[in-house]
Amino acid sequence: MQYMRDYESFDYEGPTAVTLGKFDGLHRGHQKLVEKISTYAREENVKSVVFSFDMRDFLLQKGVEVKAVMTADEQKKHLENHVDYLISYPFSEKICHMQAEAFIEDILVKKLHARYIAVGTDFHFGFGKRGDVHMLEAYAKDYGYEVEILEKERYNDRIISSTYVREALEKGNVKLAEKLLGYKYAVSGIVEHGNKIGRTLGFPTMNIAPEQFKLMPRFGVYACEVWLEGKLYHGIGNVGIKPTIENNRRLLVEVFVFDFHRDTYEKNIEVRFCEFERPETKFGSLKELKKQVDEDIAYGRNYFANSLAMEG
């Protein structure tokens, strides 16, 4: 897959199958669109292109900070080996004020050479969001492309959306988020040195600082999978600010991996959230904290033992 941050760099001269949107989280609805253009690529000898609008900087300029369900690196990782091109285009005033007809002609047709366009029923584009699926269909014959409009994916009679995913995560309902996303919600980072209090209490942890604009699930303790150096481990993790032992309120993800005794400082890990156990709590003493963490570890071991039994 080729990755680029602007469509001007796109130099493939052959026909393409294109899907467009914000793609925050690449949830099951997004995956439906990606699979459609991938199918065109396989069956119609075209290249598949995901045109993703990166809204972060544009919204920050407007004074709006929205945490992302998926970082740019995560988006690339999820789409690798699924499409030929990913254009992660920073949304700007220029494209915000582009007329819908110009977007079709200048970007979709002249630049991307779209022969097939796959979008959801509510896709809008162009100044004032005047462009929609009906406009795409109206110009299809003139420009020689075909439009495929895909119905939204639903779960529990509700359309799957990035907003739906955010709501689930903010409640700590990572099980629901997994059903909407089609994969376990995760955060990655480099293991950093901490205060080593967990080690003195008998449960050494790995600490990672999430990317600034990455959405974190509800603060609390979770059963977790930890992906490290090509292997998957089980453990428990805390998302939050460690109020019992920290005063700087710095957001961290702290994980204790069962039966793991190696040094992991400066290594990259991925923490996948499996199930919420309890909210983050400030304890009156380290003794109280240790007692609760022992219970958390027992909960986590039991959770994974039951999960493996069900799989078996």
Residue 80 located in a structural domain: yes
How high is the pLDDT of residue 262?
Answer: 86
For residues 131 and 21, state if they share a domain.
yes
SS3 content of the chain, % helix, strand, coil (to 5): 35, 30, 35
For residues 114 and 200, state if they share a domain.
no
For residues 36 and 124, state if they share a domain.
yes
At 247-262, the pLDDT tens digits run 667 899 999 999 998 8
Mean residue pLDDT across the chain: 91
Confidence of residue 294 (pLDDT cuts 50, 70, 90): very high
SS3 state at 177: helix
Domain that holds residue 92: 2-153
Residue 84 located in a structural domain: yes
| pTM reported for the whole predicted model | 0.91
The domain spanning residue 118 has which CATH number? 3.40.50.620
Say which range, 36-40, 61-65, 127-131, 260-264, has the weakest mean pLDDT. Answer: 61-65
Quote the tokens at residue 192: 């950093």
* Domain end position, chosen among 102, 135, 153: 153
How high is the pLDDT of residue 195?
Answer: 66
Ordered alpha helix ranges (H), the chain: 28-44, 56-61, 72-79, 93-96, 100-102, 133-143, 162-170, 174-181, 197-200, 286-311
Confidence of residue 60 (pLDDT cuts 50, 70, 90): confident
Please choose, from the candidates 280, 275, 279, the residue with its C-alpha nearest in 3D space to the C-alpha of residue 304.
275
DSSP 100: H
SS3 state at 239: strand
How high is the pLDDT of residue 201?
Answer: 63
Residue 168 located in a structural domain: no
Residue 172 located in a structural domain: no
| Number of domains making up the chain | 2
